[in-house]
Structure 1
Amino acid sequence: MKALIFAAGLGERMRPLTLHTPKPLLPVAGKPLIVWHLERLAALGVREVVVNISWLAGAFAPTLGDGSQWGMRLHFVNEGDTPLETGGGILNALPALGDAPFLVVNGDIWTDLDFATLPREPAGQAHLVMVDNPAQHPHGDYRLDAEGVLHHDRAGDCLTYAGIGVYRPSIVADWRQVIGTAAGSERTPPRFSVVPLQKHFMAQGLVTGQHHRGRWTDVGTVDRLRALEAALGWSNG
């Protein structure tokens, strides 16, 4: 199985820390945030990881190398000056990902999830990891039913998408039919979110999920970064 790490974000809410360092390369408890993911992927046996990059793209290869230190190969896919968002990022990375299901991880989260709990391929189009709703996102995203199927009808309590999942490449096969003429779809390569595609296939019962009850942080602000380091018992001084 290959993996895709979303690392192309601008990190605007994390400035000034991200003025000279991309958010996934910010140190968390002594090592870059993205390295936590690479170590977990290596433990799973993933040997090829695609990293989509944009903001300060030139910083990634000198920091991470070619992946050999984790027993893997890193492929950096530069999206240019404007990130392509999650759906466009998947579509743009498909030549490097291939035809088999792949694992996706947001580069700006931290979690203790054991990636071995994820299926090697989803039952439908995607399998998403859900977490308890954080303070900044109290209403959640999707409802996980007793059979492990996800719904976007908000007909009950919802959980938050953790930014981790296993996708089939076909999730973006008919992206234009689902996205329509949304802003960014006219670009080459197109820029669009994967969320409408998730909802499209949820309506068909083709997205499953699991509830991770362990630790998870969306490292979206400086305060959350500092709180995470404190929770990990790390002191900068």
Structure 2
Amino acid sequence: MIGMILAAGRGERMMPLTENTPKPLIKVQNIALIEHAISALKKANITDIVINISYLGEQIKSYLGDGSNFGVSIQYSDESQNALETAGGIIKALPLLGNKPFVVINSDVLCDYDLSKLTLPIGSLAHLLLINNPAHNPKGDFSLINNHQVILANSRSFTFSGIGVYHPDFFKNHTNTQSKLPLYPLLKEALATNQLSGEYYQGYWQDVGTPERLELANNLKN
């Protein structure tokens, strides 16, 4: 399985720390955020990795190179001319991701979930890892029924962790490789056709999207 790390964001909420440094290279416990993501994939024997880059992306390429120093193989999907948001970035990278399901993780998320267990159930085009709602998203994103079926959020809701596995066909109705496109509308499309599944995870998870959450991650992550 191929893994993709989303690393093209501007990191505006992390300012001023990201004024001259791309957010994926900000360090938690003296390790760059994107290294945490690479390590999680490598532990799951996912060593073919695609990384999309945009803001200060050359710094990321210079830091990681071809991945050989980290025991992986890295290809880059360059969005330096036009950052495409989450779904748009994945669509642009599809030629590098092959024709089988692939894992996608946000570069600003820390999680101890074993990615080798992340699989795409039969009948699903996307499978999401859902976690307890953090303070910054108290209403959650989705709910679960029948073990793995994802539905719109109800009274028992969860937050999308930023970790999921997708089949290329999930994106087949959206083929413009230069169009900005968020992921949530596509998730709702799959949800409406019962092709979106998920699982609930109670382990360690931390979004590192603001200086305050960075401080929390540095204090709590062991």
Q: Give TM class, smaller chain.
A: over 0.9
Q: Does 1:215 align with 2:204?
A: yes
> What amino acid maps onto 2:164 in structure 1?
G
Tell whether 2:51 aligns with 1:51.
Answer: yes
Q: Kindly indicate whether residue 114 of structure 2 is the aligned counterpart of residue 125 of structure 1.
A: no
Distance 1:231 1:19 in 2: 25
| Aligned partners of 1:131 and 1:161 also within 8 Å | yes
Matches within 5 A, 1:1-237: 1-119=1-119, 121-123=120-122, 124-152=124-152, 154-175=153-174, 189-232=178-221
How much is the aligned-residue C-alpha RMSD, in angstroms? 1.4
> Unaligned 5+ residue runs, structure 2?
none
From the superposition, tell whether residues 113 and 50 of structure 1 become closer, same or farther in structure 2 (CA, over 3 Å). Answer: same
**Distance in 1 between the 2:69 and 2:164 partners?**
25
The list of structure 1 runs, each at least 4 consecutive aligned residues, that deviate by more than 3 angstroms after superposition, is none
Distance 2:195 2:100 in 1: 17
Q: Is the 8 A contact 2:45 2:116 kept in 1?
A: no
Percent identical residues: 38
- 1:43-91 residue CA offsets vs partner (Å, 9 max, x unmatched): 1111210000000011012111211123221011111243101111111
* Structure 1 residue 171: Cα displacement: 0.8
Q: How many residues align?
A: 221
Instruction: Give the gaps of 5 or more residues in structure 1.
Output: 177-184
Calculate the TM-score normalised by the size of structure 2.
0.95
Mean Cα displacement is larger for which, 5-14 or 108-117?
Answer: 108-117
Q: Counterpart of 1:92 in 2: which secondary structure?
A: helix
Mapped to 2, the partners of 1:88 and 1:232 lie a distance apart of: 31
